[in-house]
């Protein structure tokens, strides 16, 4: 079955530490890939997206993500987390020739002072 | 300036009532969406419209009826509300549809008692 998996429901990191949030998908061909952030009481905001080309994509707020075809993964990273990064992060995929997005269940990030 | 706005932000109502949620975007986008985010944070597409034309109509109960009076507005009307309708409903828009970036509204938290 087609799916988007974010295996970590909650992650806690210390401020200044590095961060990696995992996302795996199971679709036949490489889909379009996205990461969104949702702050409390807010809508989702796009952090970055991958369509094709360079497998390391840069986004806003210092985030980056790497597409690994062999692992069907699109993990989100940040070298140094700030307290304001505490939020919920969603991975999303758009299969080619489809017209709707599929979202993962989200990873809630807590940042310790 | 709010790009995608939703009203109301909170909606508490009794089972069996009929309610509407309004969405407006001032981005000049052609495509608008309704998503439902359940208590486990899963975000699932319900409907999408492109230039007032229904494009996606997921398997949601007939009690849910979207209406797009013009391409800047996409309202969601829900008849005979049930407990299971309690969720956060997000409106979004994108310039031309997938894979264009979606811009989300702040959400409407619906609680059915």
| Chain A positions in Cβ-Cβ contact with residue B97 (cut-off 8 Å) | 99
Shortest CA gap B40–chain A (Å): 7
Domains observed in chain B:
4-112 (2.60.40.10)
- Structure confidence at residue A76 (pLDDT): 98
Two structure tokens written together for B78 = 């829900």
Mean pLDDT over the full length of chain B: 93
Express each pLDDT in B54-108 by its tens digit.
Answer: 888 887 899 999 999 999 999 999 999 999 999 999 999 999 988 888 999 999 9
Domains of chain A plus CATH, in order, are 3-112 (2.60.40.10)
Q: List, for residues A65-107, the tens digit of each pLDDT value.
A: 999 999 999 999 999 999 999 999 999 999 887 788 899 999 9
Using the beta-carbon criterion (under 8 Å), do A42 and B97 form an inter-chain contact?
A: no
Contact B102 A46 (CB under 8 A): yes
Q: How far apart are CA B103 and CA A46, in angstroms?
A: 8
Contact A43 B40 (CB under 8 A): no
Supply B74's token pair. 């996409």
């Amino acid at each position: 079955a087609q799916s988007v998996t974010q295996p970590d429901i909650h992650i806690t990191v210390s401020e200044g530490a590095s961060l990696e949030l995992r996302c795996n998908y199971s679709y036949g061909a490489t889909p379009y890939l996205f990461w969104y952030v949702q702050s409390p009481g807010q809508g989702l905001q796009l952090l970055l997206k991958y369509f094709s080309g360079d497998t390391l994509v840069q986004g806003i707020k210092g985030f980056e993500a790497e597409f690994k075809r062999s692992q069907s993964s699109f993990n989100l990273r940040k070298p140094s987390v700030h307290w304001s990064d505490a939020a919920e992060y969603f991975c999303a995929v758009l299969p080619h020739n489809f017209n709707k997005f599929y979202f993962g269940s989200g990873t809630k990030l807590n940042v310790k002072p | 300036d709010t790009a995608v706005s939703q009203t109301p932000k909170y909606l508490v109502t009794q089972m069996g009532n009929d309610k509407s949620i309004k969405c407006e975007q001032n981005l000049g986008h052609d495509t608008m969406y309704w998503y439902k985010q359940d208590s486990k944070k899963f975000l699932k597409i319900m409907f999408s419209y492109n230039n007032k034309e229904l494009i996606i109509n997921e398997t949601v109960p007939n009690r849910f009826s979207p209406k797009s009076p013009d391409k800047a507005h996409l309202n969601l009307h829900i008849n005979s509300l049930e407990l299971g309708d309690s969720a956060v409903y997000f409106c979004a828009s994108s310039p031309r549809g997938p894979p264009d970036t979606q811009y989300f509204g702040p959400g409407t938290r619906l609680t059915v008692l």
